[in-house]
Structure formats: C-alpha cells, structure tokens
Amino acid sequence: MTSTVQIPGYVVGTWDIDPTHSTVGFSVRHMMVSKVRGYFREFSGTIVTAEDPALSTVTATIDMDSIDTRQAQRDAHIKSADFFDVGNHTTMSFTSTSVVADGDDWHVVGDLTIKGITRSVTLALELNGFGPDAYGGTRAGFTGATSISRKEFGVDIDMPMDGGGVVVGDKINVELEIEAVLRAS
C-alpha cells in the first residue's frame, strides 16, 4: 500500500544519527512522589527515508554502560545485575518494523531489545523537518516518545517501601530528540 502523505521539504536518503546533537533520555517514578531523569551518552543509528515514507526504516544501538542519571552511585546500581546487568548485556537495540502516518505525525513500530529480551514498542514520532546545515550537508530532525514496562524486559527488581509503594516504578517514559545527517551519495 503506497502512502499518499505529502511532507514539505522531505528528503529521501540514508541518515546517520548525530549523537552530538541528539538525546536519548528517560524518566521513571521514584519513591512514588517524583521522577528521576537520565539519558544515554553513547548511541548510534541509521534512518532510511524512503520515497514512500511508510517504507522508511530505523535501526539504533545504545551503549548501556553510558547511562547517566547525574548520580554515580545510582548509575553503578542501574548497571548492576539488579537492573541492566551491563556486564552481560552491553547494548540495547531498536529495529523498526513499520511506519504509519497519524495526521501530521507518525508511529514507528519496532523491536526493542533490552537484556536479550525483545518486545514490540510503538514510538510516537514528530517529524521536525529537513534542511541544510552549516557544513554543506543536510540534516533531519525527529522527536519521539514511548512508554515501556521495565519488568517486561527482565528489569524486574522490586524494592518495596515501608507503608506501601515501590522505590522505582515499572513504567519508563522514553524521550528522543534526534538530529540526523544525510550520507553523501
């Protein structure tokens, strides 16, 4: 089925995610009263924008050892076998399986793998645009978001609190700000 979506300034091509100008972040409920935010400093990926946008693809890999929540002791605990078990699972990966138009926005469905466990997730994606950069190249921008259950990916530690509730919530909100650079032909 061919998409009839028209995107102003749309550029067909293969793009490399620019980690210097992109963010892969997350937030999770902490102590039942607030959210802790963090991000991954090292990641890479490729986006292929097809002539028919619905046939576009995304692949990405995140270095799990690059987690940063602005607190070294917490980061060390998150890297431990209690959470991500980074000693045995060094990367997280995402491979798209479909791209679906939703008005001016998109849904990118794909396989997310964490700790060797793969689940289908849907990213709500906003296409921010395409344009020239200051270096003679072309850039594209995307904003994405999804929510996942950490327990569905084997990150199932429970730390109950006295009086009820848990120290770390199950729902993880994932937030992406992606800038990509068009590969030279």
Where are the domains positioned within the chain? Answer: 13-182
Q: Model's pTM, two decimal places?
A: 0.90
Q: Nearest 10 degrees: CA dihedral of 24, 93, 107, 148?
A: -70
Query: What integer pLDDT is reported at residue 27 of this predicted model?
Result: 85
Are 120 and 97 in contact by the 8 Å Cβ rule? The answer is yes
User: Is there a contact between 118 and 94 (Cβ–Cβ < 8 Å)?
Assistant: no
Is the pLDDT assigned to residue 14 strictly greater than 60?
yes
For the domain 13-182, what is the CATH code? 2.40.128.110
Q: What's the CA gap between 44 and 170, in Å, rounded?
A: 26
Is the pLDDT reported for residue 7 higher than 80?
no
